[in-house]
Structure formats: structure tokens, C-alpha cells
């Protein structure tokens, strides 16, 4: 398998990472090297093998549906790039 330049650009867009054509070319060669390594997996017949998503086969714990966090909005927003009146500011989304 080998990724085309267009595929690299499409993946970068899906990941929301701006990429120039020069960067895309370097990335393409690096990714293809990595996928050559990854391809070794395809030689293995894994029919009937249960996929292992996690190191411990446990089901997720549930907790009571009660408030456990205190209001720390000011502290959390202090590290935001731009806020106003307790809201996060981003470029206009709806015209």
C-alpha cells in the first residue's frame, strides 16, 4: 500500500492540520515508510481472534448521577486564548 499526495492532503484536512504541498511530500514519504512497517500485520490470519481494545477486560464503572465538580469556570477560562463574559470566543460561525 502506498499513499498518494492527494490522500495525505485529505487526511491532513480530516485532522484539521494545514499542510503545504512541500510538507505533504515529505510527510507522504515518511508515512509510506511507516505503513511499510505496519503492513507486516496483513500477513497474519486473525480470523476468530477477539479484538483487544484494552489491557483489562473490565466494563466501565458507573457512578451516581450527582454533581461532583465545583464551579471553577474562572480558573479554567484564565488559560483560554480569548474569552468574554464567561464564553469562549471564536470566529463567527453563523452569518
Partner 1 sequence: MIDASLKQLSQALAAKQISSVELTQLFLDRIERLNPTLNAFVTVDPEISLKMARAADARIAAGTAGPLTGIPIAQKDIFCAEGWRTTCGSKMLANFVSPYDATVIRKMEAEAGLVSLGKTNMDEFAMGSSNETSFFGPVRNPWDISRVPGGSSGGSAAAVAARLAPAATGTDTGGSIRQPAALCNLTGLKPTYGVVSRYGMIAFASSLDQGGPMAASAEDCALLLNTMAGFDERDSTSLDRPREDYARDLEKPLAGLKIGLPKEFFGEGCDAAVMAAVRAAIAEYEKLGATTVEVSLPNSHLSVPAYYVIAPAEASSNLSRFDGVRYGFRAEDYGNLDDMYMKSRAQGFGAEVKRRILIGTYVLSHGYYDAYYLQAQRIRRLIANDFVEAFKQCDVIMGPTSPSTAFKLGEKAADPVQMYLSDIYTIAVSLAGLPGMSVPCGFAGGLPVGLQLIGNYFGEAQLLNVAHRYQQATDWHRRRPEGMA
Q: Which residues bind partner 1 (CB under 8 A)?
A: 3, 7-8, 11-19, 27, 30-31, 33-42, 44, 46, 49-56, 58, 60-61, 63, 72, 75-76, 78-82, 88, 90-93
Compute the Cα dihedral for 51, 54, 55, 61 and give only its sign: negative
Name which of 79 and 85 has its Cβ closer to partner 1. Answer: 79
Name which of 85 and 93 has its Cβ closer to partner 1. Answer: 93
DSSP summary character for residue 80: S
**Minimum gap (Å) between residue 87 Cβ and partner 1:** 11
Between the CA of residue 65 and those of 4, 12, 14, 62, 86, what are the distances in Å? Answer: 48, 39, 35, 9, 25
Amino acid at each position: 500500500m502506498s499513499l498518494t499526495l492527494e490522500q495525505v492532503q485529505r487526511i491532513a484536512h480530516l485532522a484539521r492540520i494545514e499542510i503545504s504541498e512541500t510538507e505533504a511530500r515529505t510527510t507522504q514519504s515518511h508515512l509510506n515508510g511507516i505503513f511499510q512497517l505496519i503492513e507486516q500485520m496483513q500477513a497474519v490470519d486473525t480470523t476468530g481472534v477477539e479484538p483487544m481494545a484494552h489491557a483489562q477486560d473490565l466494563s466501565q464503572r458507573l457512578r451516581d448521577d450527582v454533581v461532583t465538580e465545583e464551579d471553577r469556570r474562572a480558573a479554567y477560562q484564565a488559560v483560554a486564548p480569548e474569552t468574554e463574559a464567561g464564553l469562549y470566543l471564536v470566529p463567527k460561525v453563523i452569518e
